[in-house]
Structures are given as C-alpha cells and as structure tokens.
Amino acid sequence: MPVWYIGFFIRESRMSMNVPKIVSMKSKEKIAMVTAYDYTSARIADEAGVDIILVGDSLGMVMQGLDSTIPVTLDEMIYHTKMVKRGVKNALVVADMPFMSYQADYVEAVKNAGRIMKETGCNAVKLEGGREFAVTISNIVAAGIPVMGHLGLTPQSINIFGAYSARGKSEQESKKMKEDAKYIQEAGVFSIVLEAVPVNLAKEITESLRVPTIGIGAGAETDGQVLVFHDLLGLFDDFKPKFVKRYAHLKKDAIGAMENYIKEVKDKKFPDKEHCYE
Ligand code: KIV
C-alpha cells in the first residue's frame, strides 16, 4: 500500500464526524450523543469522544430554570449553538429548532433552519413531530440542511400531553409512532430521537428503519443513546426521570468545593503565599 494512501487513510479516520458517517453506524456501532449548551461543556463532551453533541432546547430547563422548553427562542438557540460550536473539533453538532420556529409554515421553517446553520456553523437541526412535519422536513433537507427527527415524548407538545410521561403505550399511539417514523424517514431525516418509548416499540421502530434511532428512555435496542449533560454528570437534581443514569455527582462535589472555599476565606487561609504576587 503506498505511503500517501496510508497517510490519507489516517487523516480520513481522524476527520470530524459528519451525517453520512452517523448513518453508516446503524447496526455496526452504537451512537453516543449528549447535550451541551456552552463552550466548556462542549469541550468536555468532544474531548471525551461523543459522536454527536445536541444543543437541545432542554437548555430552557437546565440553563434558564424554566419549567418547559416552550419559551426558548430562536435567538437563544443560536447564541448557545455558537458557543458550543467553538468548543467542538470532532463531534457532529445538532441544534434544536425551538417551539414555533417551524410549526407555522414550512417556508418560515426553512428560513429559520437556515439562520441556525448559517449563523452557528452547526451540522444539522432537530425538530419534533411526525407526518404533519414531513413537508417541512423535506423542504429543509432540500435546502441542504440535514434534519434529525424526534418522536415519542416531544416536550414542545407538553400542553397537549399534560405530563412528561412515556408515549406509545396504547395500540393507537404505538401504531401512529411506527407510521410517523416511516413518514419522516421518507421525508429525509438522517436519524430519529425516540424519547420515553416502551422498549419493544423502540426496537420495532429501529428494526424497521434505514436511518439510526437514538433513544432516551427507549431501552437498549435503539442505534444510539442520548443523555442531557447535566443529568449525566449529576449537576441537575430538580427532578430525575427514570431513564437518567448519573455517571458522576458533580453538584455534590461542587458544593463541597464551594464550602471549602468559603471556610478558607472566613478563616483567612485563602489566599496563601502560593496564590499571591510577590
Ligand atoms: O432538548 C433536548 O435535550 C432533547 C433531548 C432530550 C433529546 O431533545
């Protein structure tokens, strides 16, 4: 094998993630996705090696202290995605389209998706919903903007659902979700988030699609998993959905560190010589 070819191969394998690579991971390698909302959290996730960083509108809850994602604006999504993008070298960056940035009509949706991509440099957008958004999805994709779908518990519809509970438990809902997955796949999504969906339904949908599914509270049979950064690291404890696994307890550690700092200030132990200019 010529040396230039080996060099090219090594460079290729180190090149950043893109949409076709994510699609090709289906059934071969599980996709690891996590949310991030700023430069520092994006650097942590990217250096750890996640495949996809989602700038989720969940930032309304974990960053802004809101009780739903409904008030999050397009300008806020753009602001956070810009910060995230600066911290990422390898992962695919996907930005959520916030509530009412794509629901009214598809022309406005294309313009708003375009603004997100053009102003932030993200690689794709995500939007919630099934067949009713198929035309919107196909028009955004036709404009050159990859779209990730989102089915199951779609938090922007909280006022229709009434509660953040699992979806697709009834025969009727499960049938609709299976059909919706097919509709949005045909419309052109490159992957679909399945949120709070029974394990068997998520498995059935995953097996029926060409594009990968990424689950959150949808069991182990999806093609990938996503968790919210602050949940994964134990930074956010206002509430804990059943599907959240905490891989660290950073809020507890942070409070401990703050308490030490406060004590050292009060006891006049900080700053010591090491932290002063001569
Ligand atoms: O907004 C978000 O963080 C999400 C994930 C939970 C999938 O949509």
| Nearest CA residue ID for atom 8, ligand 1 | 56
Percentage, residues of the chain above pLDDT 90: 92
Show the ligand 1 pocket: residues with CB < 6 angstroms: 35, 54, 56-58, 96, 193, 195, 216, 226, 228
Report whether pLDDT(59) > 90.
yes
**What integer is the mean pLDDT of 177-202?**
98
Find out whether the peptide bond into 271 is cis, omega within 30 degrees of 0: yes
Q: What is the pLDDT of residue 76?
A: 98
Give the residue carrying structure tokens 């959290």.
41
Q: What is the pLDDT of residue 11?
A: 47
Q: What is the pLDDT of residue 62?
A: 95
How far apart CA 195 and CA 215 sit, in angstroms, is 6
Report whether pLDDT(259) > 60.
yes
Q: Ligand 1 mean position to 68 CA, how many Å?
A: 12
**What integer is the mean pLDDT of 183-199?**
98
Sign for the pseudo-dihedral over CA of 18, 247, 126, 154 = positive
Pairing of strands 31-35, 124-126: unpaired
Q: Ligand 1 mean position to 225 CA, how many Å?
A: 11
Report whether pLDDT(89) > 60.
yes
Pairing of strands 191-195, 213-216: parallel
Q: From residue 167, give the alpha-carbon distance in Å to each of 1, 164, 196, 261.
A: 53, 9, 6, 45
How far apart CA 232 and CA 125 sit, in angstroms, is 22
Specify the pTM.
Answer: 0.94
Q: Average pLDDT, whole number, for the chain?
A: 95
Report whether pLDDT(5) > 70.
no
How far apart CA 98 and CA 93 sit, in angstroms, is 16
Q: Which atom of ligand 1 is nearest to the CA of 69?
A: 1
**What integer is the mean pLDDT of 195-214?**
98
pLDDT in tens, 6-45: 555 544 444 699 999 999 999 899 999 999 999 999 999 9
Q: What is the pLDDT of residue 231?
A: 97
Contact 167, 217 (CB under 8 A): no
**What integer is the mean pLDDT of 185-189?**
98
